Structure 1
Amino acid sequence: MSQATIKSFFKSPHFAVVGATPDPNKYGHKVFAWYLSHSLPVTGINPRTPTVLTHETLASLKDLADPKGTSVSFITPPQVTRATLDVAAEIGIPAVWFQPGAYDGECVAFAKEKGMVVVARGKCVLVDGGVGVEARGKL
């Protein structure tokens, strides 16, 4: 995965975290908090919880105000990720970041087939996201 791909992911004006959770022990919380700590406009996607870190969540990617301007991080089991990718493709999500454990080969192939920028293969925003944030001039 090239740094150029990561930088491309961060070109979007908005971000969403599918699998955001209020549980501070889970990566859905840690990744959502990472976006906030870097002053990035992020929305949590979780149909089971109304807020994460005092920020209102949405039940579905379909509820995003600007889906074509939103890059999405996934922190869900691969089968949930794959089902959510159908919605992502339908609404025009431009880029996805599959956090470790949130995808399989089918997820990657589908996202690429639909023309999305794809960050995967073990890359985690908590470790590798700084390259993209720096490119946005936020560090």
Structure 2
Amino acid sequence: MTTKTEITLNEIQQFFSEQKIAVAGASRNPKKFGGMVIKDFKEKGFDMFPVNPNAEEVQGLKSYKTVADLPGDVKHLLVVTPKEKTQEIINQAVQKGMKMVWVQQMSDTPEALAALKKSGIPFIYKKCIYMFAEPVKGVHHFHRFLVKFFGGYPKKKSN
């Protein structure tokens, strides 16, 4: 398993500073995680770019077959694929020159994280994106409260 220093709040804020976010594992089914994130982040004002090799469109948005097919100005990638697909997506992200990658918890593998670390692309993992995308609501808000209460919430790194 690759080791990485603790994820900082600065890194998380950097990920959200970009309005254009690609989602590998985007689903046409709005009840699946890869569908919910497209819908919810569109509502939060983000420009979403679904990546799904089996879809022409996802929730009215043009879908891209691979990360390589994404427009050149899309530089942040959220990975919500099944673990067996994550390495392939990370390889595509490295080839494409993504500037930042968030591997949603439960999608990460040691090999994929090692490839990201080797590439030098900043990445976030073992974190649920819903706990950080403002405004945080419902169960995610409660989850964030618990994580903060027990000291597991990322800290802001001072310069």
Query: What TM-score do you get using the length of structure 1 for normalisation?
Result: 0.85
Q: What is the aligned counterpart of 1:35 among 33, 38, 41?
A: 41
Question: Quick one: which of 52, 55, 59 aligns to 1:49?
Answer: 55
The corresponding residue for 2:66 is 60
Paired residue type of 1:75: V
RMSD of Structure 2 on Structure 1 (CA): 1.6
Of 7, 17, 33 in structure 2, the residue corresponding to residue 11 of structure 1 is: 17
CA contact (8 A) 1:44 1:52 kept: yes
SS for the counterpart of 1:20 is coil
- Confirm or deny: 8 A CA contact 1:18 1:74 kept in the other structure: yes
Alpha-carbon distance, 1:48 to partner = 0.5
State which structure, 1 or 2, has the greater radius of gyration over its C-alpha atoms: 2
How many pairs are equivalent? 129
- Superposed CA deviations along residues 74-121 of structure 1, whole A, max 9, x for unmatched, are 111122111111111111001111112111122122112111111111
Identity of aligned residues (%): 23
Report the CA distance between 1:34 and its aligned residue. Answer: 2.1
Structure 2 portions without partners, runs of 5+: 1-6, 136-159
Q: Describe the superposition over 1:43-78 as per-residue Cα deviations: whole angstroms up to 9, x where unpaired.
A: 0000101111111111111111125x4200011112
Distance 2:103 2:120 in 1: 15
2:154 corresponds to: none
Aligned with residue 134 of structure 2, among 116, 130, 135:
130
Aligned to 1:136: none
The answer for unaligned runs of 5 or more in structure 1 is 132-139
Does residue 100 of structure 2 align to residue 95 of structure 1?
yes
The structure 1 segments of at least 4 consecutive aligned residues displaced by more than 4 Å after TM superposition are: none
Q: What is the CA-CA distance between 1:13 and the residue it aligns to?
A: 4.6
Shift of 1:19: 0.7
Cα offset for 1:26? 0.7
Answering whether residue 94 of structure 2 is matched by residue 86 of structure 1, we say: no
Aligned to 1:117: 122
1:76 aligns with 2:81: yes
1:11 CA displacement:
3.2
Counterpart contact for 2:64–2:70, Cα < 8 Å: yes
Q: Larger relative contact order (C-alpha < 8 A, sep ≥ 6)?
A: 1
